[in-house]
Chain A
Amino acid sequence: MKHAVITGAAHGIGKALAHRFAQEGYAITGVDIDAAGAARVERELNARFVIADLRADAGIARVLPELLQGKPIDVLIHNAGINAVGRFPDISIENHERVIAVNFYAPMVLTAALLKADLLAKGASIVFISSLSHYTSYPGAATYAATKSGLASYARSLSIALAPQNIHVTTVFPGPTRTAHARRHSPRNTREEKRMPPEKLAHLILRGIKKKKHLIIPGAVNQILAHLGKWCPPLMVYAMRKVILEKL
């Protein structure tokens, strides 16, 4: 039985990924801060969970020994992420710091430690959930955008470093997804039905990982937005300003 480790697996995209990979016959180890949510997914899937707060070194230190006791990892998905929305000076420095810790620092520390412990199986995939903001910008969440771009850069370097060991690295750039996370952080939620359901996203991610893709931009609309952001930044900047920044 193959083994998938998914951070932030109690809710949203992580939970959908846990379900999709379980369907595919994977044994699931989830990592999450929310014990109640984790217990729910554990019951649904017979998954194993490590309850840990990835904002702190102590939390990361709890995850590692648990994973080291487990089976080799075939798919490692760094999905856990938090956001802080508002104009940069209005967000407290503690919140900025938490975003960096969970979205940027924790995945890099976990990756280095798991590689060092040789816990990734031959032919394993390491997956980073970045964000479409890498291409489109995200005024009103400057630190979040920074961490997600940083993660994409790290994944790009990692992909080359690990190719000789036959470990594959995939970066996912999801756009708006219909999760509680998105609802919490959007200025208004009038177009919620337009967001991609997490189940669909999880399916596209699984398919991309199977095909050993390096980059996954899920959905045609997101792909168009990514291209516009990459090749014509002023247009996306204008749009993001209208859609997000001016509504804060």
Chain B
Amino acid sequence: MQKKTVLITGATDGIGRALAKIYQSRGDRLILMGRRALDTLNDALYTKNTYCRTDLSQDKCANRVCAFLNAQKIDSIDLAIQNAGTGYYGPIAEQSAKSIREITAVNLMAPLRLTHALMPYLKKASGKLVLIGSITHAFPCPDYAVYAASKEALNTLGRNLQIEGDINVQIIHPGATRTGLHRKIGMDNEKTKKFPSAERVAQKITQAIDGRRFVATIGWQNSGARFLGRYCEGMVNAMVRTT
């Protein structure tokens, strides 16, 4: 198989890191993006030539990526996986404007900025844009309403970009996954231990990317749950209300 150029956001941890490993093992040219400093990442994956340090909550993130691509003499991208995401867990009234801003910036605004900036690169390679959503977009989530809303917005953005048809867009909705996100947002309980590992979920995501579905959900249980959340709204709302 021919080597591809693969860009992954949120690539220093969780699903993003697991995806990076998979594409590395396929011999692809990687562009990995993350917030952490390069010297704190102890892995051969991350080098001066593969790692672009960018804070996606900042306005300038797309410029930084373009500058990095320019410096690396990369002018086309075969696959851009927008995986980075952040969250908040807790009562709606207690969520600060800063937290709402960060989730909006990282989960929605950054994918939009990068899509806008990377479109010429993707077009050149007839490449594919992959947006990593979440099955929570189809559910009422009283404890993480802004997160779910950002994922629902991302899903709709992706759907409309598919219809506009300038580039090939795929939306992939994983279910709950054992990653650092839960601890970061203060959700570290027994439940998260039962979630499938990031490696397993990443494996299934790459299968979905190799496939042709416009909108893919990872795992049949998640597919079923997402279907109910979307099409049996009232019933699901009542179920969530009583739990």
Which residues of A are interface residues toward B (Cβ below 8 A)? 57, 60, 87-89, 93, 96-97, 100, 104-105, 108-109, 111-113, 115-116, 134, 137-143, 145-154, 156-163, 214, 230, 237, 240-241, 245
| A89 CB → nearest B CB, Å | 5
CB pair A158 B153 closer than 8 Å: no
- The answer for the CA separation of A149 and B237 in the assembled complex, in Å, is 17
- The answer for the CA separation of A161 and B101 in the assembled complex, in Å, is 20
CB pair A108 B149 closer than 8 Å: yes
CB pair B112 A147 closer than 8 Å: no
CB pair A112 B149 closer than 8 Å: no
In the complex, what residues of B have CB within 8 A of residue A154's CB?
A: 145-146, 148-149
| B110 CB → nearest A CB, Å | 11
CB pair B146 A145 closer than 8 Å: no
| A176 CB → nearest B CB, Å | 17
CB pair B164 A96 closer than 8 Å: no
In the complex, what residues of B have CB within 8 A of residue A142's CB?
A: 156-157, 160-161, 164
| A119 CB → nearest B CB, Å | 11
Contact of A113 among B97, B116, B233 (CB under 8 A): B97
What is the number of residues of chain B that contact chain A, defined by CB distance less than 8 Å? Answer: 48
Whether A153 touches B149, Cβ cut-off 8 Å, given contacts A97-B109, A112-B97, A139-B164, is yes
Contact of A156 among B115, B117, B140, B159 (CB under 8 A): B140
Which residues of B are interface residues toward A (Cβ below 8 A)? 62, 91-97, 100-101, 104, 108-109, 112-113, 115-117, 119, 137, 140-146, 148-157, 159-161, 163-164, 166, 231, 233, 237, 240-241
CB pair A160 B164 closer than 8 Å: no
In the complex, what residues of B have CB within 8 A of residue A57's CB?
A: 97, 101
CB pair B92 A150 closer than 8 Å: no
| B233 CB → nearest A CB, Å | 8
- The answer for the CA separation of A140 and B157 in the assembled complex, in Å, is 11
CB pair A109 B137 closer than 8 Å: no
CB pair B97 A159 closer than 8 Å: no
CB pair B91 A161 closer than 8 Å: yes
CB pair A146 B241 closer than 8 Å: no
| B107 CB → nearest A CB, Å | 10
Nearest residue (CB) in B for A86 is B164
| A55 CB → nearest B CB, Å | 13
